[in-house]
A and B are shown apart, each in its own frame.
Chain A
Amino acid sequence: MLAALRRSQLAQRTALLAPSLAIIGGFMVLPLILMAYVSILEKGTHGGVEWGTYSAEAYIKFLFERDLMGSLSVNADYLQIFLRSFVLSGVTVLLALAIGFPTALYIALQDDRWYRNLLVFMVTIPFWTNLLVRNYAWIILLRNNGLIDNAAAWLGLTQEPIDVLYTPFAIGVGLTYSFLPFMVLPIYASLEKLDLRLVEAAFDLGADRRRALARIVVPLALPGIIAGCILVFVPCLGAYVTPELLGGSKSLMIGNLIQNQFGAARNWPFGAALGFALLAIVLLAMMAYALRFRRAPGGGT
């Protein structure tokens, strides 16, 4: 009886999981395996790969340069692009956190449930517009002779054109704007569950607003803050459209570099290898963080 029950539970569980397993397996695991395979093949002369000819060239190319004589020398160009991507993503996370946390806190503190839901809805409104359109909008705002440039000149704040478009700064602005909702929503979700009586208790015990925030609100919203940071950081690393449109040729990010290999550079194995390097770095960073966070006292709930 019990065994039969257990078996039916197992069947039910399998049935429930099957669709998502099929999709993840068919559209993620298989392509990943294919990508890993491509990354160790010889590149084709006109794009594509030479099936059956293996080579570690793609991974060597990431760190070294081969001169005409065939000897290797260290080449930090690609590492620099990786580094730039990480720094830009990190800055974006900090900006999004600086803007997103107060926003989420403000929304969570509203008494009127209807008004609160309206604000949450407004945070998600940018999603209703295409990402490309939103980035083109930023071009119009940021370019010389654009809205911001003209306004600053009219107010007498600047004498020269601002020259902001096609810089890492413009990418930072665009990324922060694009991914801000991913920061606000998880933080709001954890702040909304926060028992406001705990804040009252902190006030009662002599904490002013700043210390109540630092000692009570932020620690209790930490799961949401971490989730928000990850949700912003990871897609930022792989961002393609924003650096393509708002960054110049001098501020490539990983996403553009990878796209380049499959497009203009016609080096599929290298593109696949770059993709894998990114995946590996992100996974290692997340694992390190997860381990650290689980061991930290008081964390993890």
Chain B
Amino acid sequence: MPQANAIDIRDITKVFGQGAEAVHALDHVSLAIREGEFFTLLGPSGCGKTTLLRLLAGFEQPTAGVIGLYGDDLAGLPPFRRPVNTVFQNYALFPHMTVAGNVAFGLEMQRWRRGDIERRVEEVLSLVKLAGYGQRKPAQLSGGQQQRVALARALANRPKVLLLDEPLSALDLKLRKEMQIELKRLQVETGITFVFVTHDQEEALTMSDRLAVMQDGKVLQVGTPAEIYERPTRRFVADFIGDTNFLQGVLGRAANGEIQIKLDVGGMVTTRHAEAHTEGERVTLAVRPERVDLEPVNAEAGEDTGRLRGVVETVVYFGTDTSYRINIDSLPEPVLVRVQNRQGAASPFASGDSVRLRIPPEAVQVLVD
């Protein structure tokens, strides 16, 4: 695994405007992005992810804090002196130049020799599977092809870090899936560090080596997709990525590596991780719908720990799984449960059935806030 940090972001703050109208786009953000990884900044619009990318590219200067690139402080360095390149959201291809002209532009700026430029342009265009398109104008290409040209143009200079600002958001779903695979392939093939900005949680989970979830100018959590999905530490993270049920409870005593939590709706669950909390504290739990099991209410079950009673409100068949919304007395929102379908088996529960929910310890994630 690569070890060195490609980018070190230390305590970056970015404020737009002044006085009462000042907007804190970034609020004391620190991140380390490792060499050769596919790193994603994920968050809703306005969370500061694009601002952070523009700070890396040099289009904006931080109000406070330091950005290091392979140990070099980037402060005050204009965009054209930074060994990073950007793929812009709407591609920003030069409309008056051919595809080859667009890709060659960066090389011409580096004062490459003509012959070398031609060779490199061809090489990069075939890397993005656009060999033979060099003489076309950007306007003659489809959205997906324009996207590839933008990639080729940014990769031509062999940047140390490639910055991608929601590059797939303008493509339709099918093309987007294709380009996701394509981007991942390019990243592995070139070994370049990718910093990818998106608001699409699925995109972030499937493509990234690691990702940072951002909200209101702050980084809430950094980790691998599995860590972020399985062990969200914040309510926002759990809510933003995938479906989550939130339950309230009071932390009980720890025994045998398991901690009991007394739920407000009645009943107990146990968990294995609650390091940030102490006994007697009120906590919020996040439970993924697919980690919950459903049992008929009359089944002979052992102890009642980890079990809740409820009534099936709706049943929705999804092919691979079936989704249940289950009403529990005194809980304002129904609990979502997803059960994988077995071949040939119809849903064992129907709307109106009484069921029991079994929540195993590994399904319970205690949130920090």
Interface residues, chain A, with chain B CB atoms under 8 Å away:
195, 197-198, 200-208, 211, 215-216, 219-220, 298, 301
Q: Which residues of B contact A208 (CB under 8 A)?
A: 78, 80
Q: Is the interface of A mostly helix, strand, loop or mixed?
A: helix
Decide yes or no whether B59 CB sits under 8 A from chain A: yes
**B94 contact set on A, CB distance < 8 A:** 198, 201-202, 216
Tell me whether A205 and B59 are in contact in the complex, defined as CB-CB below 8 angstroms, given that A197-B88, A215-B105 are known contacts. no
A204 touches B85 (CB 8 A): yes
**How many residues of B sit at the interface, in one of the four size bands?**
20 to 34
Instruction: State which of B90, B96, B109 has its C-beta within 8 Å of the C-beta of A197.
Output: B90
Residue of A with least CB distance to B95: A220
B157 at the A interface (CB under 8 A): yes
Show 29 A/B contacts (Cβ-Cβ < 8 Å), sorted by A.
A197-B90, A198-B94, A198-B95, A200-B88, A200-B92, A201-B88, A201-B92, A201-B93, A202-B94, A203-B79, A204-B57, A204-B80, A204-B85, A205-B80, A205-B85, A205-B106, A205-B109, A205-B153, A206-B80, A206-B110, A207-B105, A207-B109, A208-B78, A211-B109, A215-B105, A220-B96, A298-B96, A298-B97, A301-B95
- Bound-state CA distance A259–B153 (Å) is 59
- Complex CA distance for A215 and B101, rounded to whole angstroms: 11
Chain B residues closer than 8 Å to A202, beta-carbon distance: 94, 105
B residues in contact with A207, CB < 8 Å: 80, 105, 109
- A48: shortest Cβ distance to chain B, in Å? 55
Q: Would you call B51 an interface residue if the criterion is a C-beta within 8 Å of the partner chain's C-beta atoms?
A: no
Q: Which of B84, B90, B105, B154 has the most CB of A within 10 A?
A: B105
Interface SS of B by simple majority: loop
Partner of A195, one of B78, B80, B92, B106: B92
A-B pairs with lowest CB-CB distance, top 8: A205-B106, A206-B109, A201-B92, A203-B79, A197-B92, A204-B86, A206-B80, A207-B109
Nearest chain-B residue to A195 (Cβ)? B92
Q: Which residue of A lies closest to B156 (CB)?
A: A205
CB closest residue in chain A, given B105: A205
* Bound form: Cα–Cα A216–B84 in Å: 20
> Roughly how many angstroms separate A208 CA and B108 CA in the complex, as a whole number?
12
Contact residues in B for A195 (Cβ distance below 8 Å): 92
A211 to B96, CA, bound (A): 15
Q: How close is A210's CB to chain B, nearest CB, in angstroms?
A: 11
Q: Which residue of B lies closest to A201 (CB)?
A: B92
| In the bound complex, CA of A208 to CA of B77 (Å) | 12
Chain B 87-118, CB-CB to A under 8 Å as 1, else 0, gives: 01010111111000000011001100000000
Contact of B157 among A201, A205, A298 (CB under 8 A): A205
A207 CA to B92 CA in the complex, in Å?
Answer: 15
Contact A198 B85, CB 8 Å, known A203-B80, A204-B57, A206-B80? no
